[in-house]
Amino acid sequence: MQRLEHRACFGGWQDVWRHESATLGCTMNVGVYLPPQAALGPCPVLYWLSGLTCTEQNAITKAGAQRYAAEHGLILVMPDTSPRGEGVADAEGYDIGLGAGFYVNATQAPWATHYRMHDYVVFELPAWIEAHFPTNGQRSISGHSMGGHGALVAALRHPGRYRSVSAFAPIVAPSVVPWGQKIFRAYLGEDTTIWREWDACALIEHATERLHILVDQGEADDFLAEQLRPELLEQACLSANHALTLRRHAGYDHSYYFIASFVGEHIEWHARALAAG
C-alpha cells in the first residue's frame, strides 16, 4: 500500500491511499480522512460511496465533510467508483464501465472479471481499513446517487454490518429506471429476478433489520423524475413498515453543493448511531 496524498485538514489528515484489491483484481485509490481523535484512540468509520463518473477525489475535495468528521471523531473512507487500470472492461457512455461500478457483483462477460464493487466496499475495503487504521470496528455507510443506491443495498443485504445508513439523491429502484436497467442488463444479465437482489426498494420488502433510513433529495435535481424516484422508496418503506426520513429540499440540484449543504446533518446522524452502538 502506498500513500499518494497527505494533507492536514481540520486538525486531522486527508490522505489518499492506493492498495491492491484481490476482489477487483486491480489497484484502487481510497480517500481516508483521519480526524484529530484518531491520533488518540480508535474511531468509528463512515463509508462514503460516490456517484457516476466520480473518483475518490470528488468527495474529498468538494463535500466539505471533514469539518463534521473532525467535530464528531469519525474516520471517513471514500473509495473510487469502479475498478481501474489496463485490462478493466469499459464501454461507451459515462453510465457504464469505468466510473460506474454500480456497487454490484457482475456475473456477465466482460464485466465479471473485475466489476465486484459490492464485495469490495462491503468486505475487502473494511477489512483493509480495520487492519491498517485506528478503527473501533463500528461502521456506517452513506453515498450519493449511484453511491446512495450502493449504500442502501449494502446495509439492506448485510444486517448487523452497519450502525446506520443514509443517502443523498439515491437511485432507489434501479430495476425500473434507465440507469439501473442499462447496468443490470450488462453486469447481471436478463433475469430480472436477480436484479431485485440489488434493488433497495425490492430488498426493503424482506429486510430483517429495521435500520432507519435517512435520505435527502433536491427538488431541482435533473434526474429526480426519471432516475431517482424517491416516491418508490417511500412506498416500499410504508408497505414494509420500514422507518424512513425522506427530506425534499426546494431548489437543490444533484451537485456537491447540495451534498455540502446537508452532509453535516448526515454525519451528526451517523455519529449519534455510532455513539449509541
- Catalytic sites, residue numbers: 145, 221, 254
Residue 218 binds to a second copy (criterion: CB under 8 A): yes
Q: With CB under 8 A as the contact rule, which of the stretches 47-55, 139-147, 172-180, 253-261 interacts with a second copy?
A: 253-261
Q: Which of 109, 206, 251, 276 binds a second copy (CB under 8 A)?
A: 251
In the complex, least distance from residue 69 CB atom to a second copy, rounded to whole angstroms: 12
220 contacts a second copy (rule: CB under 8 A) = yes
| 7 makes contact with a second copy (CB under 8 A) | yes
Measure the CA–CA gap between 139 and 158, rounded to whole angstroms: 12
Q: Rounded to an integer, what distance in angstroms lies between the CA atom of residue 99 and that of residue 183?
A: 12
40 forms part of the interface with a second copy (CB under 8 A): no
Work out whether strand 43-49 and strand 75-79 pair parallel, antiparallel, or are unpaired. Answer: parallel
Least distance to a second copy from the beta carbon of 62, Å? Answer: 5
Binding mask 166-205 for a second copy (x = CB under 8 A): ----------------------------------------
* Cell numbers describing residue 102: 454500480
User: What would the grid cell of residue 214 be?
Assistant: 435517512
How far is residue 35's CA from residue 38's CA, in Å, rounded to a whole number? 6
Dist. CA 150–CA 137, nearest whole Å = 20
Q: Does 212 bind a second copy (CB under 8 A)?
A: no
Determine if 258 is a binding residue for a second copy (CB under 8 A).
yes
Residue 18 binds a second copy, judged by CB under 8 A: no
Rounded to a whole number, what is the largest CA-CA distance in the chain?
51
Pick the stretch among 46-54, 205-213, 227-235, 246-254 that binds a second copy (CB under 8 A).
246-254
From the number of C-beta atoms within 10 Å of its C-beta (0-12, 13-18, 19+), residue 116 rates as: buried
DSSP codes, 54-104: --HHHHHHHS--HHHHHHHT-EEEEE-SS--STT----SSTTSBTTB-TTS
The single residue among 64, 110, 134, 277 that binds a second copy, judged by CB under 8 A, is 64
Residues that bind a second copy (CB under 8 A): 7-11, 13-14, 61-62, 64, 66-67, 218, 220, 249-253, 255-258, 260-261, 264
